[in-house]
Amino acid sequence: MKQQNFIYLGLGIVATILFYVLRVSAYECIYAVPGFSDQFYNAGLYDMIPLITIAVPWATAGIYYYAINSVRFDRWYHWLLVGGISTMLTIIIGYAVNSSVFSDMGLSYGAESLSFELANAVWAVVMFIVASFSMRWWSSNCRHTPIPQ
Amino acid sequence: MRHILSYLLLAALTLSVASCGSSPLDKAVKRALVQQDTTQAQFDSICGIIQQSPDRYRQYLDDKGQINIAELQALFDRIGGELRPPMRWDISAYGQQELSLTIYFERSGSMVPYDNAGDRGQLKKAVNDIINQFPGRKVSINIVNDNIYPYQGTVDEFIKDRNIYASTAGVGNSAFTDFQQIFGAILKAQDATNVSVVVTDLIYSPADAGSVSIDKILNEENSLVTSIFRQYKGKSVLVHQLMGDYNGKYYPYTNKPVEYRGMRPFYILVIADTPVMDRMAAQSEYAELLHPSTVRNSYRFNQSEAAVDYCVVPDWKDNAGRFRVDHEDATRLTKCEGDKTTGILCLTMAVRLDGLQKEESFLADARNYKVQSASGFELKVTPITPDLVTGNNKMYLDGKTHLLTLTGKMNGPRDQVTISLPNEMPAWIAQSTSRDDTNPAASGFSTTTLGLKEFLDGIASAFGAGGNYTTLTLNLEH
């Protein structure tokens, strides 16, 4: 069982690294708009936003399983709530970074930036699930969340 | 737990390495390209990064510790090639030797009335502007008529001289202009870093021409010019036509002077090696030389086909239908589809044409372009004005001069659209030439020059005319 848990962790890390390596294609398959996507690429946001989309879900999942780690907060809907917060945080931080970079460059893509970050919710959710199934096994109180072992 | 932390640490390290791979130099170059800040100051700042860390950036320095322009250009090209759309900043000019300027000021009898004290002095002003705005101080001046004679004063004295023809009276023989002698000597003396400027009325006045027919004189002029220039096929000649006040004796080909007061054309010929001319065209410091502010018409001989910067503007008000610019090849458009209701595909390119040294009226006229495509696309040309540039399209329009809009219906799964700007002798040459200059009251006397066409045809024959100024290609796919 212990070895299987490490396999889950390894697969989660590989999936996360793969997501980062293939980030431009991953994002352009969910959201690509003429003009905006080129500026997004040139501004280096295809480097920054995926890092945020990885860091926030992994951090919130870590906090849920190892900091909160409570029997009073180990139901599937608790996990779903944390996942929702994680996704919202990813959207808000991503939008703030995106707007700041574009503003420095004198660009105004407010509507496109918002649409992009909302579309990024897809990857934020995927990353939270990947992070959860990578790290939950060693949590003393929440390892059965969201699905029992 | 230790194992888990090791796994996570390794993953974080991998992501850090993947995301922070570029050096400060790479970032500075990318920032300059993205922000279109391709100025000397920005270039100096990038060189400063290299010189502050000579060990880290050794490959961009030569043996003497100076910037290796070729290596740095390769870095600029690599980073620019990764951008969308790909960008190029030609930095080759920063490492080149200073150019020198040699003025050849014609002092034949017919030139003197261009600089009367009571007139506006456009001829002298045009020469002074070229001297004053030429970068660097390597300037020399010669007086030409039957031969070339060095000007005896300093450059400043020449500029200040209010009556240049009076102060150079007695230099050479002003009764005739020996083109063979003058152009032969200029071309022979010119080195690879020199720019020669000939200020002339371009009227061929050989000795003892009084009894010779005009046809014979002009044919002789044409052959003479060809025979001189054909020995120097690596040179480029830029001919500017300007207008100036004229008040005094005019010497027709019959050599019987007539009084004339009014406007007359005069010419500034810029002669340099073709790479030097191309280099000047790429640098704004030479704008006055290549595009004098008072120029009426211009034409460059021996202009090789040039690659110009262009990119498709993906989000533009005139665009219709759908297309996607390929990220690897900016000249390839995929998923091209006409508008759902009209079936029309309309796409716009931003192009930088100022390096072609053509007048705006020529560049802005779609009839001067040749469009080849299986679908019969039509072209519209719009000059880029500041009001068209907004924050969002700045990336595409900055540094560009014209918008080329193609409109048509694709009649196949793929099409290659080729837009070229043919290099043809401009109409103004035929309109500005005459074969009889004996009657100053004749219509067209004020705007024509005896034998201009024969003279310029002679240069064209020597260099071989034709070809295109530039060619742009787009590959469209459904």
* Banded model confidence at residue B96, pLDDT cuts 50, 70, 90: confident
Question: A115 Cβ partners below 8 Å, 6+ apart?
Answer: A31, A33
Q: Looking at the structure, do residues B126 and B221 belong to the same domain, yes or no?
A: yes
B230 CB within 8 Å of a chain A CB: no
Indicate yes or no: CB of A138 within 8 angstroms of CB of B85: no
Task: Answer for the pair B94, B40: CB distance below 8 angstroms, yes or no.
Answer: yes
- Residue B472 falls inside a structural domain: no
Residue B4 domain-assigned (yes or no): no
Chain B residues close to A25, C-beta within 8 Å:
none
State residue A13's pLDDT score: 95
Interface-testing mutation among A33, A42, A136, A137, with chain B (most B C-beta atoms within 10 A): A42
Q: How far apart are CA B473 and CA A107, in angstroms?
A: 29
Give the list of residues 6+ apart from residue B283 with CB closer than 8 angstroms, or none.
B93
Strands (E), B93-207: 100-106, 139-144, 148-150, 194-200
Q: Which residue of A has its CA nearest to B82?
A: A42
Inside any domain, residue B93: no
Q: In chain B, which residues have their Cβ closer than 8 Å to the Cβ of A106?
A: 391, 394
Select from B240, B199, B273 the least CA-distant residue to B357.
B240
**Strand partners of residue B241:** B267, B297
One domain, residues B300 and B315: no
Question: For residue B281, what are the contacts with CB-CB under 8 A and spacing of at least 6?
Answer: B290, B355, B356, B357
User: For a pLDDT cut of 90, what percent of chain A falls above it?
Assistant: 77
Distance from CA of A51 to the nearest CA of B (A): 8
**Residues B374 and B408: beta-carbon distance below 8 Å:** no
Stretch B7-32: mean pLDDT: 72
Which residues in chain A have their CB less than 8 angstroms from residue B313's CB?
Answer: 35
Facing A17 at nearest CB: one of B15, B391, B394: B15
SS3 state at B420: strand
Q: B11 and A10: CB-CB below 8 Å?
A: no
Residues contacting B11, CB < 8 A, separation 6+: A13, A16, A17
Find the residue in A nearest to B33 (Cα): A42
At residue B432, the pLDDT reads 93
Is B15 in CB contact (< 8 Å) with chain A? yes
Q: What is the pLDDT of residues B160-180, one digit of tens each?
A: 888 888 888 888 887 777 788
Q: What percent of chain B has pLDDT over 70?
A: 95
Q: How many residues does chain B have?
A: 478
The DSSP code for B99 is P
Q: How far apart are CA A140 and CA A137, in angstroms?
A: 8
Of A37, A44, A138, the CB nearest to B1: A138
Say whether A107 and B391 touch across the interface (CB within 8 A): yes
- Separation CA B345–CA B336 (nearest Å): 8
Q: For residue B14, what pLDDT band results from cuts at 50, 70 and 90?
A: low
Chain B: closest CA distance from residue A124 (Å) = 17
Q: Does the beta carbon of B19 lie under 8 angstroms from any beta carbon of chain A?
A: yes
The lowest-confidence range among A136-140, B280-284, B308-312 is B280-284
- Report pTM: 0.68
Whole-number Å distance between alpha carbons of B218 and B455: 8
Mean per-residue pLDDT for A59-80? Answer: 94
Q: For residue B136, how far is the Cα from the chain centroid?
A: 19
What percentage of residues in chain B have a pLDDT greater than 90? 37
pLDDT value for B372: 95
Whether ipTM exceeds 0.85: no
Specify whether B246 is located in the same domain as B283: yes
The pLDDT-based confidence of B7 (bands split at 50, 70, 90) is: low
Nearest to B434 by CA among B118, B120, B202: B202
pLDDT band, residue B145 (cuts 50/70/90): confident
For residue B356, tell me if it sits in a domain: yes
Q: Which residues of A touch B (CB under 8 A)?
A: 6, 9-10, 13, 16-17, 20-21, 33-39, 41-44, 47-48, 51, 54, 105-109, 135, 138
B10, B15, B315: residue with CB nearest A35: B315
pLDDT in tens, B52-88: 889 999 999 988 888 888 899 999 999 988 888 888 8
CB contact under 8 A, A16 and B4: no
Check pLDDT > 60 for residue B17: no
pLDDT for B271 beyond 90: yes
Asked if residue B172 and residue B59 are part of one domain, the reply reads: no
- In whole angstroms, how far apart are CA B205 and each of B143, B246, B310, B326, B450? 16, 18, 46, 60, 10
- B10 to chain A, any CB pair closer than 8 A? The answer is yes
Supply the range of the domain harboring residue B37.
22-79
Start-end of H helices in B103-145 = 122-133
- Our CA-based measurement puts residue B148 at a distance from the nearest CA of chain A, in whole angstroms, of 56
Q: Give the pLDDT mean for B261-266.
A: 93
In a domain, B271, yes or no: yes
- What would the mean pLDDT of A35-61 be, rounded to a whole number? 93
Measure CB to CB from residue A10 to each of B7, B84, B391 and give the nearest one. B7
Give residue B318's pLDDT.
Answer: 86
Higher local confidence (pLDDT), B217 or B384: B384
Chain A residues with CB-CB distance to B3 below 8 A: 6
Q: Assign B352 to helix, strand or coil.
A: coil
Q: Please indicate, yes or no, if residue B177 is contained in any of the structural domains.
A: yes
Q: Do the domain assignments include residue B386?
A: yes
What local confidence, expressed as pLDDT, does residue B210 receive? 66
d(CA B391, CA B366): 28
Residue A1 confidence (pLDDT) above 70: no
Q: How many residues does chain A have?
A: 149
* Averaged confidence pLDDT in chain B: 87
Q: Do A109 and B325 touch (CB under 8 A)?
A: no
Nearest CA in chain B to A22: B18
The answer to whether A85 touches A60, Cβ cutoff 8 Å, is yes
Per-residue confidence (pLDDT) for residue B236, from 0 to 100 = 92
What's at A27, amino acid-wise?
Y
Q: Nearest by CB to B395, from A38, A44, A108: name it.
A: A38
Helices (H), B315-365: 360-363
Per-residue confidence band for B2, with pLDDT thresholds at 50, 70 and 90 = low
d(CA B242, CA B447): 10
- Tell me, yes or no, if B11 comes closer than 8 A to chain A by beta carbon: yes
Contact A16 B11 (CB under 8 A): yes
Give how far B54 is from chain A: nearest CA, Å.
Answer: 27
pLDDT for B18 equals: 57
Q: Do residues B273 and B409 share a domain?
A: no
Compute the count of residue pairs across chains A and B with CB atoms less than 8 Å apart.
Answer: 68
Mean pLDDT over residues B208-216, rounded?
78
**Amino acid (1-letter code) at residue A84:** G
pLDDT beyond 60 at A129: yes
Tell me which residues of chain B, numbers 294 to 353, contact chain A at a CB-CB cutoff of 8 Å.
313-315, 324-325
Position B94 in a domain: no
Q: Total domain count for chain B?
A: 3
Same domain, B130 and B191: yes
Measured CA angle at B439 (ends B435, B442), to 5 deg: 85
* Residues linked to residue B144 through DSSP beta bridges, in sequence order: B106, B148
Contact A20 B15 (CB under 8 A): yes
Alpha-carbon dihedral B424, B379, A32, A19, rounded to 10 degrees: -30
- Cβ-Cβ contacts under 8 Å, B11 against chain A: 13, 16-17
| CA separation for the pair B50, B29 (Å, rounded) | 11
Phi, psi of B186 (to 5 degrees): -60, -50
Q: For the residues A62-80, what does the mean pLDDT come to?
A: 94
- The whole-number pLDDT of residue A12 equals 95
What pLDDT is recorded for position B350?
94
Mean pLDDT of B276-300: 86
Least reliable range by pLDDT among A20-34, A114-128, B9-23, B31-45: B9-23
